[in-house]
Amino acid sequence: MDDTLQDLLRYAAKQGVQLEGITPRRLPGRGYGMVATRDVREGETVLEVPTRALRTLATVPKAISRKLDRDVSVHGILAAHLVLDDSGDDAAWDAVLPTPDDLEASIPLLWPTKLRDLLPTPARTALQRQQTKLNADWECVKAAFEHDEREKGEAKETKESKETKDTKEKKDDKNGSAKTRKPWGLTKSNYVRAWLLVNSRTFYYTTPRSEATLPSHEDRIAMQPVADLFNHAADRGCKAAYSAKSFSFVADRVYKEGDEVPISYGAHANDALLVEYGFVLDENRWDEVSLDAVLLPRLSSSPGDIVRENLEAAGFWGSYMIDAATPGGCYRTQVALRRLLCGTTSVAKRAAWQQFVEGGGDDADESEDSKAALQDLLLECLDDMAELAHKTLAKLERLGKAGVGTDSQRNLLTLRWQQIEAMVAQAAKNLREGGGEEEEKEKEDPVAKREAKKAKREGK
């Protein structure tokens, strides 16, 4: 174990953090992660973090929090604390946080525009929301502290200019312990780094006080030492729970000595994981592909935008998804495709479409010809999506030759589009062969059929 992790564990122990059967380690090509140091039993508590060890709004010094108004999110305030803190109290914890280079390699917000423009539709949408929230927080923090930080910097320069070189070196040696932490300095790049760290390393944390004072669930967050080193798994991982005294993490299954022990960040598709956390999973049961890039132009081509108006009025404009279990697309996709097939002149067809929408996706009375037309249209969209993926991969190759972005950035984006290409090809294959995982379950299990219809109604 490297010195940085040893310092972190000593710091954590002083905070009352308890590890049982796991420890953080560097994992090749993946940064830090948690690994079992012995066989771990299912149901065993492997980590407990007392609330006094958390970074929350309540732990931000009043000198910082009082200068920030209600327009700044708790996310933004925690980021400001990271940037402005000069106490050194959490130096051992800060030492394991990802570096600016680590973040630039994986987080799309920091990528060149030409690469960001090639993100899949859901990733671009999430990135726009992220950028808007970050910009709002930064403008408020800058307005509150920029003048103070400038004066502080000028005073420091004046003081240092009066010190002799020898005196300064002795002072630096004396203060060179782990307790000392140099503040990052209030610059846009430092604040962006801090904001992204908070974005990717916090846990939801609701208490009676936060529930009463923070109306937004998004503001009820906390950073945790050691616990923030857990990696994500899509469908497994330790269960996290919190009380007034602590956060606890309980093993969801047996882990053998040497196994990585993950948690689940939630049911996220790879586009969301890429934007928020800077990685994609090779196997992700929640992954899906958006057809918006190829389907929205078709829907917008009707005279007078009547198709778009109908879909917007019904609440079904955009977010058209397919996944491994539903090659025929989610309920939103089915609604949009059916509306496109209705055209703009047939009153009877539009009435049938409206009945389909109001019936929550019931197609029992639909003719075989209509179903065949629907499948043909979806296959055309899948073919268009496959062509888009192919062209995007070719663009990425050209950008690589032109030196745009880093190898790690382009490789990550390339991997995502290769996943999309493979998922689209599999969906087309399943559709032509007569169904996917979901339809097979429906044939065997009436309960699965009911659940599938419920999922369609909810747009899953």
Q: Is 160 in the same domain as 306?
A: no
Mean pLDDT, residues 380-400: 97
Amino acid identity, residue 317?
W
**Does residue 180 share a domain with residue 89?**
yes
Position 150 scores a pLDDT of 62
For residue 366, what pLDDT band results from cuts at 50, 70 and 90? confident
391 neighbors 94 (Cβ within 8 angstroms): no
Within this chain, do residues 204 and 295 fall inside the same structural domain, yes or no?
no
Residue 45 has phi, psi (to 5 degrees) of -75, 115
CA–CA distance, 385 with 361 (Å, rounded to integer): 24
Which residues span the domain enclosing 138?
Answer: 55-223
**Is residue 452's pLDDT more than 80?**
no
Q: Are residues 296 and 429 in the same domain?
A: yes
27-46 CB burial, b ≥16 within 10 A, e <16 = eeeeebbbbbbeebeeebbb
Could you tell me if 319 and 427 lie in one domain?
Answer: yes
Q: Is residue 273 part of a domain?
A: no
- Give yes or no for a contact between 300 and 321, defined as CB atoms under 8 angstroms apart: no
pLDDT mean over 118-137: 97
Q: Apex CA 406: angle with CA 400 and CA 407, to 5°?
A: 70
Please compute the mean of the pLDDT values over residues 208-227 and round it to a whole number: 88
pLDDT in tens, 54-65: 999 999 999 999
Q: How many CB atoms lie within 10 A of CB 339?
A: 24
Within a domain: 211: yes
Length of the chain: 460
pLDDT at 447 over 70: no
Mean per-residue pLDDT of the chain:
87
pLDDT at residue 457 above 50? no
Structure tokens at 357: 């929408």
CA atoms within 13 A on the CB side of 386: 14
176 occurs within a structural domain: yes
- Widest distance between CA atoms in the chain: 90
Write down which residue in 174, 197, 223 finishes a domain: 223
Q: How many domains does the chain have?
A: 2
pLDDT at 446: 46
Alpha helices in 29-120 (DSSP H): 62-65, 74-84, 91-94, 100-106, 113-116
Residue type, 415: L
Q: Establish if 93 belongs to a structural domain.
A: yes
Q: Is residue 272 a part of any domain in this protein?
A: no
User: What's the half-sphere exposure (Cβ side, CA atoms, 13 Å) at 227?
Assistant: 35
Distances (CA, A) of 246 to 17, 34, 92, 224: 9, 19, 21, 10
Distance CA 355, CA 422 (A): 35
Work out the pLDDT band at 234, boundaries 50, 70, 90. confident
In a domain, 408, yes or no: yes
pLDDT at 368: 86
Rounded Cα distance, 5 and 83, in Å: 22
Q: Which residues pair with 34 in a beta bridge?
A: 24
Q: Which two tokens stand for residue 71?
A: 């327009």
Report DSSP state, residue 300. T
Q: Are 298 and 341 in contact (CB under 8 A)?
A: no
- In this predicted structure, the answer to whether residue 440 has a pLDDT above a threshold of 60 is no
Q: Using 50, 70 and 90 to split pLDDT, how confident is the model at 348?
A: confident
pLDDT digits (tens, 9 = 90+) for 68-93: 977 899 999 999 999 999 888 999 99
pLDDT in tens, 422-435: 999 999 999 988 75
Same domain, 110 and 213: yes
Question: What would the two tokens of residue 117 be?
Answer: 């423009």
**322 and 219 in a common domain:** no
Per-residue model confidence (pLDDT) at position 387: 98
- Higher local confidence (pLDDT), 445 or 27: 27
Instruction: Mention every residue, 6+ apart, whose C-beta is less than 8 A from residue 178.
Output: 7, 88, 91, 92
Poorest-pLDDT segment among 140-154, 254-268, 293-307 = 140-154
Q: What is the pLDDT of residue 302?
A: 79
Is there a domain that residue 203 lies in? yes
Q: Find the mean pLDDT for residues 382-402.
A: 98
CA distance 130 to 276: 8
pLDDT of the residue at 70 = 78
pLDDT at 176: 42
* 310 shares a domain with 218: no
Return the top range by mean pLDDT from 164-168, 261-265, 299-303: 261-265
Tens-digit pLDDT profile for residues 17-51: 999 999 999 998 788 999 999 999 999 999 999 99
Strand partners, 204: 221
